[in-house]
Structure 1
Amino acid sequence: MNLNTTRALRSLTPLALLGALSTPAMAIQVTDNLDLGGAVRARWDYDPDRDIQKFNFDTAILSANYNSDTWIGEAKYRFYGRAYPYNYTKHVGDVQFAELAWIGYKFNPDQQVQVGLNQLPFGLQPYFGSTFYQTMGSVVGLEDVEEVGAKYIQQSGDWNIQAGYYLRPAWQGKGTSNGETYSSVVSEADSYVTDGSNNQERNTVVLRVAKALDLGPWKSEVGISGLTSSLENRDTNNDGRRNAMAVHYIGKNGPWGVQLQAARQQMSPRNPGTDELVTFGGYDATYNVASRGNLYVADVSYDVSGKYLFDQISGVKLYANYSAFDKSADDFKTSQRMIFGTSFSLSKLWIATEWLYGKNDPVIGGGSLTQSLGAGGSNQWENQLYMNIGYYF
């Protein structure tokens, strides 16, 4: 559920950023090359079916960004706790983890390498749509995933090529769960996860190739991605595999934007129990994900020009996003998510307001956190309102 897109500005073509969210740039410039910044965010959750009406602290973020003619780097760290949905903890910082921590070298303006905790170059970048509350891709471990390794980026005319090798997921932060990371990654199940597993992902190889082109009035990008890794099961000491592929399209025509993606994820774990489920974790929780399924994403957006309310409101974007995780097992119910929302700047604040719909969704409407992405939850559409208000510095 993050939005700061600066981590992608030096690694992607302009077309690859069409669907990304933008935030006020108010970082503190320490030197000509080093900026320090961060954010303080609040959130509002409204779900009358669950008697939830909360307005409270969301997160605090500290960040650093370095950029010279040759050396580049970025670090970002997040703090949660005490407030909903982490009101089971006592203090801000009881849940905390790194989002990014990498250094890089630019061979020239079109070639660079990044080493450390950086984003996997898979599918739509940097996010699978225009939304703040991310798509089904984030909870099945394909969207906005940061792992520890090296990534090479090359821009050759209209072609953008990115290749990465990652030794392991991010290091565990602090929390109450085995899922103490920013990204949703393969994890050891907590005791409350029925049919949970204990796999560790290692040696992830990713390749993403994209081409910019014009389709009539649409400035477009089409691309394909592939991912493969080993799944080391700590109970059986046997290795399985995780494979994923995706094709994507980004288009921009004046104020209109479109993003489309279809992906296949196929995992073959060597669990002591069922191999139809793999436990993932992130944001201080663990849950099961169907080992095989197709992910579909469609996003449409419209940029509203001009300034409003005495020039205090600007950068207004309207958007709608649909994503679905269609599982291969016959008795597993499809997980779906729809988001209708708007984002805008209000003076020095950045605000996103979204109407969330979920069916067999682990986090929308109080579905089954641990099983919705596996066998499924209530199989009913649930909805709630969500707002995030951030001051970025």
Structure 2
Amino acid sequence: MKPWTFQITIYNPPLNLSKIFSNLISLQTLNLGKTRLYVMPENVFMHMKNLSRLYLNSNRIASWDGPKVFGRSKSIKRLRLLGNYVTVVNQTSFPESLLVSLEELDMSDNHFSCTCENLWFRSWIRDNQKKPKYKVKLVNYKNYTCKSPKKMSDAGVRFIDYNPTKVSCTEEPVWMYAIVAVAALIVITVAIASVLYKCRWNIRYKIYLMRRYKYTRIPNEEEFVYASYVIYSDNDREWVHDVFRKRLEDTEGIRLCVRLRDFEAGKSIVDNIAENMHLSRKIVIVISNNFAKDEWCRFELFLAHHRCVSNEDGLVFVMLNEVNSDNLTESLHVLITSNSYALWSEEETGETLFWEQVIEQLK
């Protein structure tokens, strides 16, 4: 029977992969590369008894629970984890049963930390090359580099040249006065950080005004370059560029300012944001769960309120998707409940109404 191969594209993980693959008992090759996975799915691969090739390259995986991900799997022979964000590999990352069956492991282009946390992995690589306990071929291991600490990263130190010992990684006893001093420093640092965090947007805005005071004047109608500046999360950029911008610019002739296209290279992001808002007649705010979690979106929203403080019609609100209660801050709740907004819908009637509301406010 021809081996089964399966490739899937995931855009807003996590999906319930257990349900998706539960009946694929003959699957031998599974390619989950470039699917934006942040975590390895648990209780999935261990039940795929015929899975021999697993590709998880070019994702955003940083760590995983080996026993929960691989269990006692003995079928996987080729595992690719290259191009992820792995910093530490420890003794539980790869269960014994997996290492026995594994023939090829590729962890190239990861963010390895050259600290005592990786002592086991460094030792395992060396032992595997000198006196291999397993038949695993570690692909391109000589080119693994230290991404942290910064001193090692800047010096281009290879991971295999990182040379700690068990003695050097043993914690030294800490004297009582040192504990008190460190604790006091932490308390002071946290207190200062808390104050700065609460005032962060005011601080950034004041700094901007000091540097760019000439942009405080609102331009005349004929001086505007854009019909609207668009505030959106990078995670929503596909919809903003491929749907929102395309319809308004290509069909309606309404020129928008979108940062990935219109920001000036080499200029600071704060200056780009404020100057392009200044050149835009209105500001569109694309609200979504991604927006609610985005620090830069909150900063742009802060500037937008100052930019339109005397013009209530200067802000146009678009609801891409309803914000979950977990992401709904008090200020965002007030924003949503006190303003009217156009709600995006993929249903024909809802979509028509959405475009009518947006176009009416922008023209």
TM above 0.5: no
Q: Which has the larger radius of gyration?
A: 2
TM normalised by structure 1 equals: 0.19
- Report which of the two has the higher share of helix: 2
- Report which of the two has the higher share of strand: 1
Q: Which of the pair has the greater relative contact order for Cα pairs under 8 Å at 6+ separation?
A: 1
